[in-house]
Amino acid sequence: MRNPSVVRFKSLGTIAALTLSSALLSGCYVVPIHQAPAASNQAYAPVAVVAVRPIYTARLYPTNDIAAAAGRISGTISNPERGQGEFAFVMGGESFVGEATRAPNASKGTANAAGNRGAYAKCTYTMSNATLGTGGCVFSSGATFDLHISQ
C-alpha cells in the first residue's frame, strides 16, 4: 500500500533542482527603498542658544611714581551690552570690581571700581570705534594710569 504523504520523485535531477531553487530563494531578503526613521519614545527639550557676549581687555599703564610701584595692570570689562558692563581687575593683591558705562550711541564713558580693602578708582574713556578705546584712571591713593581698552 502506498503512503499518500510521501512524494516520489522520478529522477535525481528533479530532487537536485528543487533543492537548489529552495536554497537560492531562502537567501533573498526584501529591503525597502525609503525607510522611515524609527519612532523615538524619548522626550526632548529644546536647548536655548546663548549669545556670546564680548569681553573687553582693560590695560592700565602707570603715569606717576605712585602708580609705577604697582606696575602695569590688566583687567576686563565684561557684558558691555547697552552701554553698561562690569569692570574688574586686581592691583597689589586687592580685587577691584565696578561698572563701566556709556550713554547710548556715545563714545565717552566712565568706569568706577571699589577694592575689597577700601581703595577705589575712577576712570574716564573714549571709544574710537566699537572695539578700541583710551582714557585715564585716578586711584584713591593718588596713583594715575593711562587706560587702553580693546576686544
Contact assessment for residue 150 and residue 131, using Cβ atoms and an 8 Å cutoff:
yes
Nearest to 125 by CA among 57, 49, 50: 57
Q: Is the pLDDT of residue 132 over 60?
A: yes
CATH class of the domain at 55-150: mainly beta
Specify burial of residue 79 (Cβ count, 10 A radius: 0-12, 13-18, 19+).
Answer: middle
All cell numbers assigned to 26: 531562502
Tell me how far apart the alpha carbons of residues 60 and 150 are, in angstroms, rounded to a whole number.
Answer: 12
| Domain residue extents for the chain | 55-150
Q: What is the pLDDT of residues 22-70, one digit of tens each?
A: 666 666 566 667 666 666 666 667 777 766 678 999 999 999 999 999 9
Tell me how far apart the alpha carbons of residues 49 and 45 are, in angstroms, rounded to a whole number.
Answer: 13
Confidence of residue 82 (pLDDT cuts 50, 70, 90): confident
